[in-house]
Structure 1
Amino acid sequence: MSSAFTQHVRRQYGPWAVVTGASDGIGRAFAIELARHGLNLVLVARREPQLVALAGELQRTHGIRARVLAFDLAQPDSAVRLDAACDDIDVGLLVAAAGFGTSGPLLSSALAEERSMLSVNCDAVLAQCWWFGQRLRRRGRGGVVLMSSLLAFQGTPRAAHYAATKAYIQSLAEGLRIEWAPHGVDVIACAPGPIASGFAQRANMVMNGADRPATVAQATLRALGRRGTVRPGLLSKLLGWSLATLPRWVQVRVIGQVMGGMTAHQQDSSTRAVGGPPAGA
């Protein structure tokens, strides 16, 4: 990363960034990348030991300040608590990387789990955008990164509800990008494909060609303020290009075949977590 880019990140999105889902995967990669550019961090997830270890590592390596907030974003008051915990600092960037999903037939899943996913992936993100959007509008500059998905652009058999939550995030990001531009606030939807972050093991899925979380974080940060959607990773780009000109019903069938291959070893009577533990842990 160039010195000029680092200065831009600090000026536009510093001095503090909030990263949810920071204990693992893409959230952790964003935290590391932002620390490299000198931003102080509020690290949010359920697993406190992992957050404390990451905070200590980033403080030693990059000389930043880090604040650990360990709570469950599935709770209805989580966004209010998060906002209150940041009252004494100047937050310029929100990276809403926490989330989880399910794979397999919807009728084989537990309704409570599906509703919890809806709360974390959609309701919690909406509340975070509202609370931190107020802050960013007042300060006249900043940024928001929302985690969409390769699956957000069409219905996806065997991940129907997970894909629907990501479609919500994609649409929300596209709309907020235009709404908040006059306030100096950049919004981007990050829509990666498979990521090598323990995803396959936790999801009980077979995935080939997975990208590194660092690739996602770096590409997204580079695109923030320049594009509305970024598709990090070869598979996400390839499928995006190849499906774009097809009728939507064909897109659904093609992506269903892709998901079917990833979950072919599962029994139809079971579901598996996609994207990590609930609330992004």
Structure 2
Amino acid sequence: MRRAARYGPWALITGASDGIGKALATRIAAEGINVVLCARRKSELETLAVKLTADHGIESMVLPADLADAQDAARVADITSRLDIGLVVLAAGFGTTGSVLETSLSEEIQLVSVNITAVMRLSHTFARRLATRGRGGLVLFGSIVGWQGVPGQANYAASKAYVQSLAEGLHDELASHGVDVLAVAPGPVASGFGARAGLYMDSATKPDVIAKATLGALGRRKIIPGNKGKLLTASLLLLPRRIRSLVLGRVIAGMRASSTTTRARHSTPGRAVRGTDTRARERSGG
């Protein structure tokens, strides 16, 4: 197992309870690499840990943590210091939806804590550990919305721009130390993120497609996994940044409108349906 030799014997996956993080944990375990499963929801992690151990004969550790809390993020770094971790996948993240006039300041600050501060904290810690051991991999998740400002997801898009830029810079900084750093920029993913954010995502890419492409791209600089993400990126590539922002803003607005219509169809008769769901706490793939 080539990847097990280079990126084992342990991997840390944040956002492992759902979506892209869960799909990556499953594929990494199938490679014979032991996994540390990190997310907020302990019961989901425990269920996944039992399944991965039974299916693949690997060891697993459940590490519940809310990365919006600096103490929890520090605890993740401390507990994992006892393990020989060769692969770090920072898939935890969440998005808010709505204009700055609609969203909660506390939620937006929490988004920065999870999507930026925790990513920097863990990247800084594990970059040093991986460089010391002379081999390994670090995977960070940006998004195709991170290449321009996006009305209706301004803070989320800005956070993903940070992660994308960080990963590309770290790729060159750590290459000479034997550490592969990969920037992953997915498009819409069918992970539950959209529903929680009040977005209806038609033809979204399945998390396992993202996971397979991500592991196959280890050693490269960046990847846009999934046909949907590639198509959206290609269609916007030659447009001025300002126009890309407007186009994606309309796409987000359309997703919100479709989500409202879908919820209305499935709501109980006589019950009010919220027109806007301005926040999402999805710790996986965003």
Same fold (TM over 0.5): yes
- On the 8 A contact 1:193/1:233 being kept in 2, the answer is yes
Give the structure 2 partner of residue 129 of structure 1: 123
Read off the aligned partner of 1:236 and give its amino acid letter: G
Change (3 A) 1:244 1:99: same
Read off the aligned partner of 1:64 and give its amino acid letter: I
Change (3 A) 1:224 1:24: same
Give the structure 2 partner of residue 68 of structure 1: 62
Residue 242, structure 1, aligned to residue 252, structure 2: no
- On the 8 A contact 2:10/2:85 being kept in 1, the answer is yes
Give the structure 2 partner of residue 272 of structure 1: 278
Please give the per-residue CA displacement for 1:5-64, whole angstroms capped at 9, x wherever unaligned: xx2211111110000010111110010000010000000011111001100000000000
Q: Give runs of aligned pairs for residues 251-270 of structure 1, distance below 5 A.
A: 251-264=244-257, 270=276
Give the structure 1 partner of residue 80 of structure 2: 86
Deviation at residue 201 of structure 1 after TM alignment: 2.0
Give the structure 2 partner of residue 229 of structure 1: 222
TM-score, length basis structure 1: 0.92
Change (3 A) 1:277 1:238: closer
Give the structure 1 partner of residue 171 of structure 2: 177
Rounded to whole Å, the distance in 2 between the matches of 1:154 and 1:223 is: 24
Equivalenced residues, count: 273
Rounded to whole Å, the distance in 2 between the matches of 1:61 and 1:119 is: 35
Rounded to whole Å, the distance in 2 between the matches of 1:251 and 1:34 is: 35
- On the 8 A contact 1:156/1:252 being kept in 2, the answer is yes
- On the 8 A contact 1:22/1:43 being kept in 2, the answer is yes
Give the structure 2 partner of residue 147 of structure 1: 141
Give the structure 2 partner of residue 107 of structure 1: 101
- On the 8 A contact 1:142/1:184 being kept in 2, the answer is yes
Q: Give runs of aligned pairs for residues 195-206 of structure 1, distance below 5 A.
A: 195-206=189-200
Rounded to whole Å, the distance in 2 between the matches of 1:93 and 1:200 is: 28
Give the structure 2 partner of residue 163 of structure 1: 157
CA RMSD of aligned residues (A): 1.9
Change (3 A) 1:35 1:279: closer
TM-score, length basis structure 2: 0.91
SS in 1 for 2:230: helix
